[in-house]
Amino acid sequence: MFEVFKKEIIELLRDRKTLFFIIALPMLIFPIILGFVAFLTSQASLKAEQQVHTYYIVNTQFSTVFSEEIFYHKSFKKYAGQKQFDSVEQLSEAVKEGIIDVGIFIPNDPKIAIQAGKQSQWQIVFNDAKAINFIFNRVRSVASKLSNELRTRALKDLGVDIRHQPALLTPITISKVDTADKRENYGEKLGALIPYLLLPLVLMGASYPAIDLGAGEKERGTLETLLLTPVTRSELVLGKFFTVLASSIACTLITVASLAIWVSVASSFVSLEAVKTAFNSVTAWDFILIFSLLLPVAAMLSSLVLAISIYARTFKEAQNYMGPLSMAVFVPIAVSLLPNMELDNVTALIPITNVALAIKEVVKGTVDQGAIALIFIASAALASLLLLSCVRWFKKESVLFR
């Protein structure tokens, strides 16, 4: 078995393409993904923040103060065309046709309405389908300022002292006291995304060498030569398995190390408050624990991809089988993101999902050692079962020579 393992490792180290996917890609993928997402987010936010919107107000005579505030607002410019709009329907059509960006319909004079004990219900017409849209908040901010002034004046006319107005308008105030610290708060959000990066890379680190060690051997005609050597089939498949496992572990180790290094680098040079808060308290032991959680997953996936590769007739057929397997890995990761999905004695037994939840708990700093032990036991048992199945699979003539 050791000689087979040694032979496969030497051949693996000679394959530059596989080395790129195992070593180079994990080291580059984090800065590329984090940098690209941060760049796109900052650019989109900056563009949305600086965008000037064309507006049209129906019945400006009902609130000249508001009209002037909008006119001099840096984010708005008045519609300079010849068309006239008199209703919400016409404003909606103008927005859809791109004539204006926002329409404001003022139905009556708010000063007269408040004297009659009624509300002046304004309508803001705009396209809210964009991911980053400041239109409504900006208009509401200007309108709220006017609304507060009218309310204060009306209450004063009714004899209510200005000092008593806040208590009269809001007799009870509620403040939030969060028992979760910032690491737990941000870790809940960022920790759920880490498995989306780590687990697919673990699969990738196993699949590339596995395809070559199984289907590749068949296609090249070298598998028959290996079967003629004085090595049992169990030793042969175990040698190949440990080669695939070593590749997956190497990819996992490089991935976790890359994550730790690039988060540290990004926190030093980039103002990412959420990332800093979530990862500043993550110790080296936590990263070791994340790596340890990925080990049984690497063993499971190594057994699966090797069995698939052994079954496939050609290199291309094996690659086609890896696609559905990749999707199957994403499903349990997605399950871990479901609302109220937490790590307990039940979820600790669900493959892949348990590791994804545990990684999130590690980042949050709320990891349960008992649940971690249960995950290791369950994952190790499943990995052993899959490896045993792979060994028996390799012994079947109908699989090797199909």
Please name the residue that has the structure tokens 């410019």: 77
What's the maximum distance between 2 C-alpha atoms anywhere in the chain? 103
- Helix, strand, coil percent content, the chain, rounded in steps of 5: 70, 5, 25
Phi, psi of 343 (to 5 degrees): -80, 115
Higher pLDDT, 161 or 287: 161
Please, which residues have CB within 8 angstroms of residue 210's CB and are 6 or more apart in sequence? Answer: 240, 244, 302, 305, 306, 308, 309, 318
Name the pTM for this structure. Answer: 0.63
Give how far the C-alpha of residue 274 lies from the chain's centroid of Cα atoms, to the nearest Å: 14
Q: Which amino acid is at 134?
A: F
Whether residue 131 is predicted with pLDDT greater than 70 in this model: the reply is: no
Residue of 354, 352, 321, 333 lying closest to 207 (CA atoms) = 321
Beta-sheet strand order (sheet of 76-78):
76-78, 53-58, 102-105, 123-126
Tens of pLDDT along 244-293? Answer: 888 888 877 777 677 667 666 655 655 555 555 555 666 778 878 888 88
Tens of pLDDT along 165-221? Answer: 888 888 898 887 767 666 777 667 677 777 877 888 788 888 888 888 888 888 887
pLDDT of residue 25: 66
Whether residue 99 is predicted with pLDDT greater than 70 in this model: the reply is: yes
* All domains in the chain, ordered by first residue: 2-32+182-400 (no CATH), 50-169 (3.40.190.10)
Burial 276-290 (b: 16+ CB within 10 A, else e): bbbbebbeeebbebb
Output the DSSP codes for 11-69.
Answer: HHHH-HHHHIIIIIHHHHHHHHHHHHHHHHHHHHHHHHHH--EEEEEE-GGG-HHHHHH
Query: How far apart are alpha carbons 196 and 299 in whole angstroms?
Result: 18
The token pair at 13 is 């180290």
Whether residue 97 is predicted with pLDDT greater than 70 in this model: the reply is: yes
Whether residue 359 is predicted with pLDDT greater than 60 in this model: the reply is: yes
Q: Is 337 exposed, middle or buried (0-12, 13-18, 19+ CB in 10 A)?
A: middle
